[in-house]
Amino acid sequence: MLETLAGVERVNPTGEIVSVSGRRVVLTNLDKPMWIKEGITKGDMIQYYASIAPEMLKYSRDRPLMLNRFPHGVDGGKSFVQKDWPHHPSWVKTVNVEAHGQVKKIVRHVVCNDEATLVWLADMACVEINHFLSSGPDYEKHDLLLIDLDPHAPAGFEEAVEIGLTVHSALDHMNLRHLLKTSGHDGLHFLVPIVPKYDIEVIRRFVYLLGVLIEGLLPKIATTSRKENQRVGKVYIDYYQNGLFRTIAAPYSLRPTPGAPASFPLKPETLKKKRIDPTQFNIRTVPDLVRKGRVIEFDFGDRQRLEPAFKELGVKPESSTSVE
């Protein structure tokens, strides 16, 4: 049975139909185990997403979603990524995006702009909520630039933090505002709001060149190599994630791994503290941190131009040099 949800009024005694911000949401199988070892149920997950909704919606608003669903729980062995939603409540907003592949087709993506939609997604066993790096109307023009720090064993979060401090300093030097968050695993994500006018290749090139700079400063632990065998024991600065219709775990999204960790926004100065454990940000701790005001005030809408930053790197954004 669910506890009282923030902004949710119970409609009937069973707790299976609730009113969320004026929308009637049907909840099912609230006792279904989602993380068996941790004793976390689907009801707990719905409670989590309802409690952090005001913060999460600041970042996911207007962005098409890619949802990682676990109908049988994260230990159930079967999951699937759902992007096309032909059936949904009438009040759930969707957008049509033309997918480019071997065959062009229109994909209907859910957009989460309200708490009711987030609660409905949680009831649909959407553990992991990933959003586009664009918010339209042209989804091929990103308004977020991503710097993804991805450790490869035996490198881990400690090495990602060391590189993250350098990334933060570099972005500050270039006067590029950025949101820092844990990946929900052992990596870090930097999200830079940008004017939605650049080709994907230009965005990738910027992240690649920044990565090469950092690789030169920290060659023992940083790499931009696309070859797996050259990433062993290093943190891969993944510029390739800035790809057409690629997604990133939304701030506050849970991840389908032991302990039910969350991708949690951090102040950069937090990285200077010793022994940060990314697993400390999880389904049980994050709602309390939000209630206590441990949140980041950051506006994705304040978008920036990349030309001055390219100038700092000594190159022009329109260079024809390809990044592979």
pLDDT value at 9 more than 80: no
In this predicted model, which residue has the larger pLDDT, 15 or 191?
Answer: 191
pLDDT value at 158 more than 70: yes
182, β-bridge pairs? 188
39-72 per-position pLDDT tens digit = 999 999 999 999 999 999 999 999 999 999 999 9
* Torsion (CA) 193, 93, 55, 290 in degrees, nearest 10: -150
**Residue-level pLDDT at 322:** 60
Sequence spans of domains, the chain: 8-139+248-257
Break the chain down into helix, strand, coil percent, rounded to 5: 25, 25, 50
**Residue-level pLDDT at 170:** 98
CA distance 236 to 240: 11
**Residue-level pLDDT at 241:** 96
Residue 132 CA from chain centroid, whole number:
9
Judge whether 33 and 73 are in contact, CB under 8 Å.
yes
Report CA-CA distances (Å) from 321 to 139, 140, 148, 199, 316.
Answer: 24, 20, 22, 13, 10
Residue 313 zone, left/alpha/beta (φ > 0; ψ -120 to 50; rest): alpha
275-300 per-position pLDDT tens digit = 789 999 999 999 999 999 999 999 99
Mean pLDDT of 180-185: 97
Lowest mean pLDDT among 1-5, 30-34, 190-194: 1-5
CA distance 66 to 60: 11
pTM over 0.85: yes
At residue 7, φ and ψ (nearest 5 deg) are 75, 10
